[in-house]
Amino acid sequence: MKSIYEGHGIEAFLNHAAQTVPGPFKGIMPHRMNARLRSQIEDPLFSWNEFCPSGISLELAIKKTTTITLTGYALDDSPQWISLVSRNAEQSKRMDVQMHGLGRLVPNLKEGSFSLKTGNPMTITLEPLDAMDTQFTVMLSHTCLAEIIGIESDDAVTPNGIETPRRRWTHYGSSISHGAQSQRPADRWLMQVAQKLDLDLTDLSLSGNAQLDQAVARTIANQPADFITCAIGINLVNADSMRERTFMPAVHGFLDTVRDRHPQTPLIVITACTCPMQENTPGPVMQESDGTFRTARRSLENDEGALTLSKTREMVERAVEQRHDPFMTVMNGLELLGPSDAHFLRDNLHPDQAGIDVIASRFATLLPQALRRVQ
């Protein structure tokens, strides 16, 4: 007898979706923040990145062949991928599937909104490993929207049950964490670390939008977590959205909001990785026709107090020191990607996949050390 799961019936299999909304094919589309909080930030780039299901996965335990019907909505013709990890008592495998028949997200720049243009649904087939009960993690694309239309199997499908609960990790960060330079979701540095250290990741990395927004801080506060990491600095300088006068209170306010619900949860504040063009030069950054970035040519009469990347590191360290919080510590982003690693920044701003792999390897080593300082 066929088992079919549609609409709200699919939600039981979604991991780390804050909310779902109906899609054009009557499926469900996951959001990473709830409607009340995400509506507080009126920025189309934020709306797009929040709606990308970065870190959201389908978790299924299957006994027989199972199919997932879904589609995606992309901004352009770039390849979009889904990563599948299957495991049973004896083995684990990873497979990456390129999406096809994608629809389009059509922005309305005048109104600051967007609409969806439908493409064609595609089907992914999941086969049990060696005819044994198998757990699947289906990592949705981090660079396009996703609509899950249905799940169908020759037997009952249950949400993936983890025998030993994994440590719950909530991360907040910029495009370097969001990882558009990684084509496949499993290759992002966050997912590499989560897989290596067996962590249950809630991902609030938002390309261009790690702006210390209170709505995001509240989202972090509302999430259960065994530890929290917050990468702070690069987007604020990129966008020239704060000066030294406003930065320190914003850091404290963001951390205060998280601490409202997590007063003793280990919290690691990560300062910015290297970015030579912004170490001592304020933003904003501009993108050239060849895809590389440069800092803007500023001509302000008084530029004292303009925020630079090196200054954010100093101020973040000072803010954490001022708090006298035994459950909070700083990780220096230059230990993840430092000046000698600048060759990984092919566009002058974002690490390529080789650089992302370096960050993943170093973070997996530094994270346990940092956690020992706050536990």
pLDDT in tens, 191-223: 999 999 999 999 999 999 999 999 999 999 999
Which amino acid is residue 126, in one-letter code?
Answer: L
Alpha-carbon gap, residue 263 to 236, rounded angstroms: 26
- Name the nearest CA neighbour of 357 among 207, 228, 193: 193
223 and 170 in contact (C-beta within 8 Å)?
yes
**Interstrand relation of 19-22 and 66-74 (parallel, antiparallel or unpaired):** unpaired
**262 CB-contact burial (10 Å; exposed 0-12 / middle 13-18 / buried 19+):** buried
| pLDDT at res. 164 | 59
List CB contacts of 13: < 8 A, sequence separation 6 or more.
Answer: 5, 58, 59, 60, 151, 157, 159, 160
Domains, the chain, in order of start with CATH, read 3-159 (2.60.120.260), 167-373 (3.40.50.1110)
* C-alpha separations of 97 from 94, 126, 315, 374 in Å: 10, 11, 43, 39
Phi, psi of 320 (to 5 degrees): -65, -40
- Name the nearest CA neighbour of 274 among 208, 343, 171, 178: 343
Alpha-carbon gap, residue 319 to 88, rounded angstroms: 46
For the stretch 249-296, pLDDT in tens is 999 999 999 999 999 999 999 999 999 988 988 878 878 888 888 887
| pLDDT at res. 119 | 95
CA 43 to chain centre: 18
| pLDDT at res. 208 | 94
Q: How many beta carbons lie within 10 A of that of residue 15, not counting itself?
A: 18
What's the chain's Rg over C-alpha atoms?
Answer: 21
| pLDDT at res. 297 | 76
- Name the nearest CA neighbour of 202 among 26, 374, 21, 30: 30
Q: Is the pTM of this model over 0.85?
A: yes
Alpha-carbon gap, residue 183 to 101, rounded angstroms: 17
Instruction: Report residues of the chain scoring pLDDT below 50.
Output: none
3-class DSSP assignment, residue 175:
helix
Q: If you count DSSP H runs as helices and E runs as strands, how many of each does the chain have, helices first?
A: 9, 21
